[in-house]
Chains A and B, each alone.
Chain A
Amino acid sequence: MGEFIVTLLTGLSSAAALFLVASGLSIIFGVTRIVNFAHGSFYMLGAYIGVTAVTAVGGGAVGFWVAILLAAVAVGLIGVAMEILLLRRIYRAPELFQLIATFGVILVIQDVTLWIWGSEDLVGPRAPGFTGAVTILGQRLPEYDLVLIAVSPLVLAGLWLLFNRTRWGTLVRAATLDRQMVSALGVNQRWLFTGVLFLGSALAGLGGAIQLPKGGADLLMDFNIIAAAFVVVVVGGMGSIGGAFLAAILIGLLQTFGIQIFPNSTLILMFLVMAVVLIFRPWGLLGKPEIPGHGVVEAPEAPLRPAGRGLRLAGALVLAVLLLLPVAHLAVPAAVDDFLLVLVIDIMIFVLFAAALHFIMGPGGMVSFGHAAFFGGGAYAAALLVKFAEAPMEIAFWAAPAGAALLAILFGWFCVRLTGVYFAMLTLAFAQIAWSIVFQWGEVTGGDDGILGTWPSDWASSRIAYYYMTVGFVVAGLLALRRMLFAPFGYTLRAGRDSPLRAAAIGIDIKRHQWIAFTISGAFAGLAGALFVYSKGSVFPTEMEIARSFDALLMVLLGGVHSLTGPIVGATALTWLNDLFSELSYWRFLLGATIIALVLLLPDGLAGLGDTWLARRLGLAAPASGSGANGQETPA
């Protein structure tokens, strides 16, 4: 009994940080409609700044709490800086484009933190006055846990008062419902957004600082908390603070009890709960179904155009260079070395992966946050066949797209029932379940050690042979994806994206088409995974991680989601940049800063730049500022 109570209390105390981070995330999303990936980074900064502040302020119990609050305020100001310097400039860009920006911020913050505080984990300071433990029915519980348990309800009450008893809070709630109308009533949205960013970021910072006596500070905190915070926000309901409170407790308890009952499947449990909630209550426990209409509606997307002469010519040119590269390698090994061939193989694999994601994201309008499940899942399907059946490449290779397709059929059946951010979150949940299984089921998958020994058959084992094989598969894959988009299937998919009601009214089963598209996309991502696993000779759980899913997302968004060349350009640029920077000590900072710069300079993505430049050269450009209505308004 004592053990049960102590476990319960431990669970409640671990919910505190989770609640603070998730409520901040939820508030920011509610008003700005930005899914702030950098929120985990703010939590991490809260912890690091907290350590420094506690040392600097000193002064016993009062000093400790002052320092914690200072850390929260400092992080709030960092959030404001991000809003003013970055987000404010791109509110008019397509909604998802802001994701990339916050992703760039994650990378920058990681390296800045590393640079300031070093790579060693910091031990958190202890809270004066709460350093001991209490004994409950013979079981000991740290006193500080009781402090943490008290924090969540206090913050919840404070937020409730703020949102229900102040003008600012009323304006924020109104802006969550219809921010354009709020501005038409004379409220300057900009300051509302800035204020919301401050509050949300400060809450994350507070979460990071307040857990210091329990957890300290380390460089992995950002990604560790962000996944859990997403789960909490989604389970509780986007924009609902009470929901975040409830869900944080639920997840906190699940984690502490889960460790005791299923020590090997704690990660799966959390995402399983999220998946179940999303399937039965897509808007979360206390959230409300989103009313379509008065959100920000983007200007209608221009139809995809078949490749013009210029593009065909460029494609043929690129293909020719690709085909001739090994010849150059044999002729001038010094200039075209082995590394370059490997890099080009990598690039091509990620081009295929990004194109597969783009297939559902662009024309399908379904944004997947978990496409690594199919890339890594395919790779694992092939590797497992090699490991347990010693299957030759000719057979195991095909297990990857097939396995990924099966996975996509399963996940897709649930996911296509949802739309928008909820769809994205469910794909993330499934991907994390898949990743947890691979990571925690060590006997079969090798866990963290991965699976080794997936080498190509003899005929394909030379670098050049494998290179040509990759070119073949990737080019064929791209052409197949492209062909499908210009077939009636592709038109149907786009009709479903642009106007689901009208498409349904003319007899199109949208969900079925989306499900098929999701499966096709998964299969091609799996094909990319197959090429990957045989080029590396091994596969590790990292290939299924959130970070890998984000890579693909980044490639598509950076390249430009509105054009078919987008993912190709984006994947090439990002893989190349990754390779270029990977040798440097602060490569994350450079990559993040590059991404942020690209976002600010090219809101239409890299391919968008090419499009407008080409169009202008050819005199085909539409009249300037063609997207009417601030890009925000549908024709009325």
Chain B
Amino acid sequence: MTTPVLEARDLHTYYGGAHILADLSFVLNDGEVVVLLGRNGAGKTTTMKSVMGLVRMRAGTVHLEGADITGREPHVIARAGMGYVPEDRRIFGDLTVMENLEVGRQPERADAPAWTPERLFGMFPNLAEMRTRQAGRMSGGEQQMLTVARTLMGNPKVLLLDEPSEGLAPVIVDQMVATIQALKAEGLSILLSEQNLHFATAVSDRAYIVEKGRIRYEGTMDALAADAEVRNTYLTV
């Protein structure tokens, strides 16, 4: 059996006294798109942040291509090949589009697709037309594209995409679906978090359902599609 690209085992994360993640484990295999599904507050974002080293876990381990990255600092994890696209975009509003990309730039990596601004502009044509625009003056959809492009500038092997469809117009959501499919075709392994089952189904191979910081269900998207009971229990509002 080959080593998974990303493996999280028994994560426990607390905010103050509140137990946010309890015993959460998942696996992401090479070239896969896996989705963490769950309602608001289930612990999806905290999972992403824990993996990225942005919040400190109390217990558990994270391995990236077999190497232990548990408790490492975010910049070390990023340089090891993990790309993180935050839920709320967090673009640098005062910086131009080109400058935002520059902040994300890291050296090329032999085992991951290499990105340049020009290549990214091919993928996100909207951005190409506003290279010198202040990022804070762009629409939400454009900002969402920029935050993905910025992370890709780091030439990651693994992409953590936190709720990429949140708050976007339907036409932009479709564009995001196409983007994720293109990135998968490039060979990236992608962990995504979503509340939107429709969106998740369009792009993912497998799903984990998170509730109250625990994994409640694990299966392929096809199996989930066939299991109305699970969907009703954990996903419908």
Which residues of A does B touch, CB under 8 Å?
A: 167, 170-171, 173-174, 177-178, 180-189, 288, 291, 294, 299-300, 302, 622-623, 625-630, 633-636
Which residues of chain B are within 8 angstroms of A180 by Cβ–Cβ distance?
54, 74
Per a CB cutoff under 8 Å, which of A288, A622, A633 touches B55? A633
* 10 closest Cβ pairs, A-B complex: A186-B78, A629-B55, A636-B45, A635-B15, A628-B14, A628-B15, A174-B103, A181-B90, A183-B74, A174-B92
Smallest CB–CB gap between B120 and chain A, Å? Answer: 14
Task: Judge whether B95 and A174 touch: CB under 8 Å.
Answer: yes
Which residues of chain A are within 8 angstroms of B131 by Cβ–Cβ distance?
none
A interface SS class: loop
Task: Judge whether A185 and B150 touch: CB under 8 Å.
Answer: yes
Per a CB cutoff under 8 Å, which of A185, A291, A627 touches B104? A185
B205 within 8 A of A: no
Complex: A171 Cα to B153 Cα, angstroms:
14
Complex interface bits, B82-104 against A, C-beta within 8 A gives 1, otherwise 0: 00101100101111000110111
Smallest CB–CB gap between A292 and chain B, Å? Answer: 13
Task: Judge whether B16 and A184 touch: CB under 8 Å.
Answer: no
Complex: A636 Cα to B92 Cα, angstroms:
20
Smallest CB–CB gap between A91 and chain B, Å? Answer: 12
Complex: A78 Cα to B225 Cα, angstroms:
63
Complex: A291 Cα to B136 Cα, angstroms:
12
Smallest CB–CB gap between B161 and chain A, Å? Answer: 13
Complex: A181 Cα to B147 Cα, angstroms:
11
B1-58, CB < 8 A from A: 13-18, 20, 45-46, 49, 52, 54-56, 58
Which residue on A lies nearest to B87, using beta carbons?
A: A636
Per a CB cutoff under 8 Å, which of A170, A184, A186, A635 touches B95? A170
Task: Judge whether B16 and A626 touch: CB under 8 Å.
Answer: yes
Interface centre among A173, A188, A635 (most CB of B within 10 A): A635
Task: Judge whether A186 and B56 touch: CB under 8 Å.
Answer: no
Which residues of chain B are within 8 angstroms of A173 by Cβ–Cβ distance?
92, 94-95, 99
Smallest CB–CB gap between A623 and chain B, Å? Answer: 8
With A180-B74, A636-B87 already in contact, the answer to whether A626 and B55 are too (CB < 8 A) is no
Task: Judge whether B95 and A636 touch: CB under 8 Å.
Answer: no
Per a CB cutoff under 8 Å, which of B56, B75, B84, B86 touches A189? B75
Which residues of chain A are within 8 angstroms of B49 by Cβ–Cβ distance?
629, 633, 636
Which residues of chain A are within 8 angstroms of B86 by Cβ–Cβ distance?
181, 184
Complex: A300 Cα to B16 Cα, angstroms:
7
Which residues of chain B are within 8 angstroms of A178 by Cβ–Cβ distance?
90, 92
B73 within 8 A of A: yes
Task: Judge whether B78 and A185 touch: CB under 8 Å.
Answer: yes
Task: Judge whether B56 and A629 touch: CB under 8 Å.
Answer: yes
Task: Judge whether B16 and A628 touch: CB under 8 Å.
Answer: yes
Which residue on B lies nearest to A293, using beta carbons?
A: B88
Smallest CB–CB gap between B57 and chain A, Å? Answer: 9
Q: Pull 18 A–B residue pairs with CB atoms less than 8 Å apart, ordered by A.
A: A167-B105, A170-B103, A174-B92, A174-B95, A177-B93, A177-B95, A184-B74, A186-B106, A186-B154, A299-B16, A623-B58, A626-B14, A626-B16, A628-B14, A628-B20, A628-B58, A633-B54, A635-B18
Which residues of chain B are within 8 angstroms of A170 by Cβ–Cβ distance?
95, 99, 102-103
Which residues of chain B are within 8 angstroms of A186 by Cβ–Cβ distance?
75, 78-79, 104, 106, 154
Smallest CB–CB gap between A30 and chain B, Å? Answer: 11
Smallest CB–CB gap between A84 and chain B, Å? Answer: 16
B143 within 8 A of A: no
Which residue on A lies nearest to B94, using beta carbons?
A: A177
B151 within 8 A of A: yes
Interface centre among A173, A302, A629, A636 (most CB of B within 10 A): A636
Task: Judge whether A627 and B16 touch: CB under 8 Å.
Answer: yes
Task: Judge whether B74 and A625 touch: CB under 8 Å.
Answer: no
Task: Judge whether B56 and A625 touch: CB under 8 Å.
Answer: yes
Complex: A636 Cα to B20 Cα, angstroms:
10
Which residues of chain A are within 8 angstroms of B14 by Cβ–Cβ distance?
623, 626, 628
Smallest CB–CB gap between B135 and chain A, Å? Answer: 10
Which residues of chain B are within 8 angstroms of A299 by Cβ–Cβ distance?
15-16
Smallest CB–CB gap between A203 and chain B, Å? Answer: 21
Interface centre among B13, B20, B46, B75 (most CB of A within 10 A): B75
Which residue on A lies nearest to B52, using beta carbons?
A: A184
Which residue on A lies nearest to B106, using beta carbons?
A: A186
Complex: A288 Cα to B16 Cα, angstroms:
32
Smallest CB–CB gap between B28 and chain A, Å? Answer: 18
Smallest CB–CB gap between A261 and chain B, Å? Answer: 39
Which residue on B lies nearest to A627, using beta carbons?
A: B16
Task: Judge whether B94 and A288 touch: CB under 8 Å.
Answer: yes
Which residues of chain B are within 8 angstroms of A629 by Cβ–Cβ distance?
13, 15, 49, 54-56
Which residues of chain A are within 8 angstroms of B54 by Cβ–Cβ distance?
180, 184, 629-630, 633
Which residues of chain A are within 8 angstroms of B106 by Cβ–Cβ distance?
185-186
Which residues of chain A are within 8 angstroms of B75 by Cβ–Cβ distance?
183-189
Interface centre among A181, A186, A299, A300 (most CB of B within 10 A): A186
Which residues of chain B are within 8 angstroms of A300 by Cβ–Cβ distance?
15-16
Task: Judge whether B58 and A625 touch: CB under 8 Å.
Answer: yes
Beyond contacts A178-B92, A182-B103, A630-B54: 10 other A-B pairs, Cβ-Cβ < 8 A, are A173-B92, A173-B99, A183-B75, A185-B106, A186-B78, A186-B104, A188-B75, A622-B17, A629-B56, A630-B56
Complex interface bits, B184-211 against A, C-beta within 8 A gives 1, otherwise 0: 0000000000000000000000000000
Interface centre among A170, A291, A299, A626 (most CB of B within 10 A): A170
Smallest CB–CB gap between B97 and chain A, Å? Answer: 12
Complex: A626 Cα to B99 Cα, angstroms:
38
Which residues of chain B are within 8 angstroms of A183 by Cβ–Cβ distance?
73-75, 78
Complex: A399 Cα to B228 Cα, angstroms:
76
Which residues of chain B are within 8 angstroms of A302 by Cβ–Cβ distance?
16
Which residue on A lies nearest to B100, using beta carbons?
A: A174
Smallest CB–CB gap between B4 and chain A, Å? Answer: 22
Smallest CB–CB gap between A36 and chain B, Å? Answer: 22
Task: Judge whether B78 and A626 touch: CB under 8 Å.
Answer: no
Complex: A548 Cα to B74 Cα, angstroms:
41
Which residues of chain B are within 8 angstroms of A633 by Cβ–Cβ distance?
15, 49, 54-55
Which residues of chain B are within 8 angstroms of A184 by Cβ–Cβ distance?
52, 54, 74-75, 78, 84, 86
Complex: A173 Cα to B136 Cα, angstroms:
14
Complex: A634 Cα to B46 Cα, angstroms:
10
Complex: A291 Cα to B94 Cα, angstroms:
12
Which residues of chain A are within 8 angstroms of B20 by Cβ–Cβ distance?
628, 635
Per a CB cutoff under 8 Å, which of B45, B56, B78, B100 touches A628? B56
Complex: A181 Cα to B52 Cα, angstroms:
11
Which residues of chain A are within 8 angstroms of B151 by Cβ–Cβ distance?
185
Smallest CB–CB gap between A291 and chain B, Å? Answer: 8
Which residues of chain A are within 8 angstroms of B15 by Cβ–Cβ distance?
299-300, 628-629, 633-635
Smallest CB–CB gap between A349 and chain B, Å? Answer: 37
Complex: A617 Cα to B75 Cα, angstroms:
39
Complex: A450 Cα to B220 Cα, angstroms:
82
Complex: A188 Cα to B78 Cα, angstroms:
10
Task: Judge whether B103 and A185 touch: CB under 8 Å.
Answer: yes
Smallest CB–CB gap between B117 and chain A, Å? Answer: 13
Complex: A180 Cα to B54 Cα, angstroms:
8
Complex: A288 Cα to B134 Cα, angstroms:
14
Which residues of chain A are within 8 angstroms of B100 by Cβ–Cβ distance?
174
Interface centre among A184, A629, A636 (most CB of B within 10 A): A184
Which residue on B lies nearest to A301, using beta carbons?
A: B16
Complex: A636 Cα to B54 Cα, angstroms:
12
Task: Judge whether A294 and B55 touch: CB under 8 Å.
Answer: no
Smallest CB–CB gap between B61 and chain A, Å? Answer: 17
Which residue on A lies nearest to B50, using beta carbons?
A: A629
Complex: A629 Cα to B50 Cα, angstroms:
9
